[in-house]
Amino acid sequence: MDYIINEMKPIDWQQVSEIYLAGIKTELATFQQDVPTFEEWDKGHSKNCRFVARAGEKLLGWVALSPVSGRCVYAGVAEVSVYIDANHKEKGIGTALLKEVIKRSEEEGYWTLQSGIIKENIASRELHKKCGFREIGYRERVGKMFNGKWHDVVLVERRSNIVG
């Protein structure tokens, strides 16, 4: 499948939110229970590091960074979110999106990208590993789903070889 990766625009939010909602429903992608409004989501994410994979008018996936702290010492550290449309998984789209956000993050001065991945989400753990992230630990029973099930979260990070 041919697709391009470009910057996420506000007009993409409808499809981005649909992909996000599908991830929420898997109960393996996030502890979030509802999709926020674009305005809420926009406030919490970097303006310069958000991308979509696009095949014509159809979005196949998205990736974005959010700051881990407002403290200046953490200005170069960001949390990664990456979501792929269920019909387009295992086609290299996640890899392409992560590589793009890594490249842009380094241009923007980020030295560490990190993520907390629900332990059972093997596909996401493998995707991050493929893109240079390493597992640095886990948090036991840190998140409880709305169905009452507790999950461990595996912590991964990627340190830049260029920045920091």
Q: Which pLDDT does position 146 carry in this prediction? A: 79
The band of 164, judged by pLDDT with boundaries at 50, 70 and 90, is confident
Q: Which pLDDT does position 32 carry in this prediction? A: 87
Q: Which pLDDT does position 149 carry in this prediction? A: 87
The band of 45, judged by pLDDT with boundaries at 50, 70 and 90, is very high
Residue 1 has pLDDT above 80, yes or no: no
Q: Which pLDDT does position 28 carry in this prediction? A: 87
Q: Where are the beta strands (DSSP E) in the chain?
A: 4-7, 50-55, 58-67, 77-84, 112-118, 134-144, 150-159
Share of the chain above pLDDT 90, in %: 85
Q: Which pLDDT does position 65 carry in this prediction? A: 98
Q: Which residues contact 101 (CB under 8 A, 6 or more apart)?
A: 49, 50, 51, 63, 64, 65, 80, 82, 113
- pLDDT per residue as tens digits for the range 72-129: 899 999 999 999 999 999 999 999 999 999 999 999 999 999 999 999 999 999 999 9
Strands 50-55 and 58-67: antiparallel
Q: Which pLDDT does position 156 carry in this prediction? A: 97
Asked which of 62-76, 109-123, 138-152 is least confident by mean pLDDT, the reply is 138-152
Q: Which pLDDT does position 35 carry in this prediction? A: 93
Domains, the chain, with CATH or none:
4-115 (3.40.630.30)
Q: Which pLDDT does position 19 carry in this prediction? A: 97
Q: Which pLDDT does position 66 carry in this prediction? A: 96
DSSP code at position 150: E
- Tokens 């909602």 map to which residue? 21
